[in-house]
Amino acid sequence: MTEPMPHPLPSYLNPKDPGPWGIYLQQVDRVAPYLGPLTRWIETLKRPKRILIVDIPVELDNGQVAHFEGYRVQHNTSRGPGKGGVRYHQDVTLSEVMALSAWMSVKAAAVNLPFGGAKGGIRIDPRDYSQAELERITRRYTSEIGAIIGPNKDIPAPDVNTNAQTMAWMMDTYSMNEGMTATGVVTGKPVALGGSLGRVEATGRGVYVAACEAARECHIDIKGARVAVQGFGNVGGTAARLLHEAGAKVVAVYDHTGIVHNAHGLNTLALFDHVRTAGGVAGAPDSESLTPEEFWSLETEILIPAALEGQITQDNADLIHTKILVEGANGPTTPEADDILSSKGTMIVPDVVANAGGVTVSYFEWVQDFSSFFWTEQEINHRLEAMMRAAYSAMSGVAREHQVSLRTAAFIVACTRILEARQVRGLYP
Ligand code: NAD
């Protein structure tokens, strides 16, 4: 028996990466024992398929020429074209974009969407640039990555600091370069341009469905269940409203302006009105304010972090007394906090499934663009709820079978699907 061949890693793939890519690699190593013969292919998950780094030269409004660094990483396309957002942020790094692209592979596969994972970004603080400059930056970036994106190759979407307008510019640039109107090259577009109804609320609606499924599994009645939510924006606000409508008591809401609490339940519709006029939840009528420590210590059935990453850490995990934690945000729970909560018996519904409603409706948008036939909002919500329930059920079945957490189970489901596709496709050339 000869020794296996060593597999030297390219220099940019540091296996001891202390950043997001390193965290992702640890997660893959944790599921390896559950992949059976597919473990043979596991290295596929540890190396992005394609990394493109582009220079973006742009003439600024003052006549100077500035250069920006942009990325598009396609982590895996075994199950379908790449899918993932484009982030504009001054802290964007290749390690971060690689990890985010890998998590998109996992998220798409966990929900059984026929997509691989990709992500893009430009290292830029968009607040420093005019709308006209941002348009030129977006168009040049799109042209530079144009060779590797496309409705059948890789479909970008909005992420941090990008929006429907950014997608409209990307779609237009790609279409002009290709000499055709290609609406399906991006998702998250304005509805006037082939965007989907229901997209804005999709992630929050998915969080709501995941919370209901978890409650059912824990024999908790949603009616009367106490819910606390961090983040009252697109994701947290929608989830809170839907839970309130289903009879739950939203007892506390935490946003960037403060924390409001009412033990009998806040009126989420009135809270939306207050946020619209006051800019945040602080000072909402019929509520008292809490400190962050008091918020995390609240006894609840359901806690939904839906604001920022890294909010639940080893410093506050001990305070938390909730039966179910539904991760609306990406990465809100650190690995140390995850261990503390799991040892207390808290059920954690992981981000890769809990907040997958957005990418699911992005998938619906892409399907509608291909067929040029658009669905009603009711149809979209109905299909979204069915896909979220199926994803939850696949994850929880594997968790029971292997006696592992829902997070590990979601990774097992996703990595198995990706590597099965890899295996049956085989290697070519
Ligand atoms: P949003 O901008 O609409 O809302 C963010 C909310 O978080 C606001 O209520 C804001 O006040 C609150 N917030 C900001 N800083 C805070 C702080 N320091 N402390 C407490 N609250 C704070 O954003 P969103 O679209 O609802 O996204 C929320 C999270 O969900 C993000 O982590 C995002 O990456 C993730 N996510 C969003 C989607 C989507 O489709 N929108 C999809 C998947 C994941």
Indicate whether 219 and 156 sit together in one domain. no
Indicate whether 51 and 102 sit together in one domain. yes
Tell me whether residue 270 is in a domain: yes
Domain boundary among 300, 317, 345: 345
How far apart CA 134 and CA 152 sit, in angstroms, is 26
Over residues 157-207, the pLDDT tens digits come to 999 999 999 999 999 999 999 999 999 999 999 999 999 999 999 999 999
What is the enclosing helix (H) or strand (E) of 425?
A: helix 406-425
Indicate whether 175 and 222 sit together in one domain. no
Q: How far is the CA of 426 from the centre of ligand 1 (A)?
A: 40
Indicate whether 207 and 270 sit together in one domain. yes
Tell me whether residue 363 is in a domain: no
Domain CATH number, residue 252: 3.40.50.720
Percent of the chain with pLDDT over 90: 94
Helix then strand count (H, E) for the chain reads: 13, 12
By residue count, the chain amounts to 429
- Ligand 1 atom closest to residue 235's alpha carbon, by position in its atom list: 26
How far apart CA 370 and CA 374 sit, in angstroms, is 10
Over residues 213-250, the pLDDT tens digits come to 999 999 999 999 999 999 999 999 999 999 999 999 99
Ligand 1 close to Cβ of residue 187 (< 6 A):
no
What is the enclosing helix (H) or strand (E) of 257?
A: none
Which has the closest alpha carbon to 203: 237, 250, 244?
A: 237
Indicate whether 240 and 126 sit together in one domain. no
Residue identified by tokens 């966990």 is 110
Sheet holding 288-289, edge to edge: 288-289, 258-261, 249-255, 226-230, 299-305, 321-326, 347-349
Indicate whether 153 and 218 sit together in one domain. no
Domain that holds residue 176: 47-180
Which has the closest alpha carbon to 155: 181, 190, 209, 116?
A: 116
The number of distinct structural domains making up the chain is 2
How far apart CA 8 and CA 26 sit, in angstroms, is 18
Nearest CA to ligand 1 atom 32: 329
Indicate whether 95 and 138 sit together in one domain. yes
Indicate whether 215 and 325 sit together in one domain. yes
Q: How far is the CA of 416 from the centre of ligand 1 (A)?
A: 30
Domain CATH number, residue 103: 3.40.50.10860
Tell me whether residue 77 is in a domain: yes
The residues annotated as belonging to the active site are 119
Q: How far is the CA of 108 from the centre of ligand 1 (A)?
A: 20
Nearest CA to ligand 1 atom 29: 329
Indicate whether 231 and 143 sit together in one domain. no
Domain boundary among 345, 369, 395: 345
Tell me whether residue 352 is in a domain: no
pLDDT tens, position by position, for the chain (429 residues)? 455 566 777 778 887 877 889 889 989 999 999 999 999 999 999 999 999 999 999 999 999 999 999 999 999 999 999 999 999 999 999 999 999 999 999 999 999 999 999 999 999 999 999 999 999 999 999 999 999 999 999 999 999 999 999 999 999 999 999 999 999 999 999 999 999 999 999 999 999 999 999 999 999 999 999 999 999 999 999 999 999 999 999 999 999 999 999 999 999 999 999 999 999 999 999 999 999 999 999 999 999 999 998 999 999 999 999 999 999 999 999 989 999 999 999 999 999 999 999 999 999 999 999 999 999 999 999 999 999 999 999 999 999 999 999 999 999 999 999 999 999 999 999
Tell me whether residue 105 is in a domain: yes
Tell me whether residue 234 is in a domain: yes
Tell me whether residue 196 is in a domain: no
Nearest CA to ligand 1 atom 31: 329
Tell me whether residue 171 is in a domain: yes
Computed over every residue of the chain, the mean pLDDT equals 96
Kind of pairing between the strands at 65-76 and 117-123: antiparallel
Instruction: From residue 79, give the alpha-carbon distance in Å to each of 97, 115, 228, 419.
Output: 20, 6, 37, 9
Ligand 1 close to Cβ of residue 256 (< 6 A):
yes
Residue identified by tokens 């396309």 is 77
